[in-house]
Structure 1
C-alpha cells in the first residue's frame, strides 16, 4: 500500500505540486519502513519546484518528520553505503527547504544531527556519491536565506571544512553562534517522536 501511494506521488516527475500531495507525503513518512521508501520520500521533496509546497511541508511538521528519519538512522548499526547515502539525502533535502531561521532547526531538534553529522569523518564528498546529479548539486548548494533576507556565506572559520559537502557547511552556519545551547540528546525527545507519529496516524 505504501509503495503504491509513493508511486502515485512520483507520477508527474516534478515532486509535489499541491497541498493535498504534501499532506499525503507527510502521512506516508510516518509509515515508511524501508531505506528505498525513505529515499523516495526525500526525492519527492528535492524534486518539488513549487516553493509554496516546500513551505507547506514545513508547516505540516516536515522538519520533525525528517528528525524521525534522522533518529532511526542514528539507531542503525554500522556505516553502510546505504546509511551514508540516506544521511546525505536528508541533508540535501534540508538544503532545498525554505529554512530561514536557526529556531526552526532547534525546535524540530534537527540541529543536533546537523552538528553531529557535520563533524563526522565518514562522509564522502557528494560528487563521489552515485546518482548525485549536477541538478541536485546546484540545488543543494543554494544558500539558505537568513531572516533579514540576505544569503548566508561561508566564513573563514569554515575554510578547513572544504572537504565536507557544502550543504553541511551551509546548514551549520545558521546555528554556529549557539550550537552549545541548542544541542540536546535525541533520546530525550522520544516523546516528540511519538507525538508527531500519532498525529498523522489519526489523520
Structure 2
C-alpha cells in the first residue's frame, strides 16, 4: 500500500553524525582510537538521548576519566561540530513530501538539550508535522516502546508508515511492527524509495 506518512531519523539522514571523524581531526586517529576503546562515549550519548541532562552526563564522565577530561568535554563544548553538516538532498525530500500534503514525522535518538542546540543551526528541524524525540519520551530506538509511542501519537501503524534510518537494528525494530522501511545509506537511494513507493515523482525527488 502507499504509505500515509513518512518517518525520518535525523542523525546520518538529515544531518551527518560522525563523532569519530570529529575527534580524528581534533586529537588524531591514534589517540581517538585509544579514547573510544577505554570510554563508552556512545553509551554516554545514549544516556543523553534517553533524557538525562546533557551537561551533567558529560561532566560526570569527564570526572571518571580525568586523564581524558579535556577531550571528553569537547563532546559538550563542540557538540554542534559533530552534528554536521546537513544533508541537503534529504531536506529537499522532506520539503517535497510536505508540499504534497504528506505528513512527515521525526523519530530520533536525540537529547533534550542537544535538540535545542541543533534547531538553532538547522531551521528545517522545526518543520516536522510531529516530533518523536527520544529525550522527551525517555526511551531510545530500537526499543519497541518508542515505535509504539509514534503509533499512539499519530493513529497510524504498520504499512501506513514508511520509515528511514541509517541503522539496521532500528530498521529491524520497525519491520517487526510491519512498517515499510528503507535503510538509509545515501540520499539518492532514499529518493528512489520515495518514488517507488508512489509518494514523489522523479522530478519532485531531485
Q: Which has the higher contact order (CA 8 A, sep 6+)?
A: 2
Q: Which has the larger share of helix?
A: 1
Q: Which has the larger radius of gyration?
A: 2
TM over 0.5: no
Length-normalised TM-score, structure 2 = 0.26
Length-normalised TM-score, structure 1 = 0.27
Q: Which has the larger share of strand?
A: 2
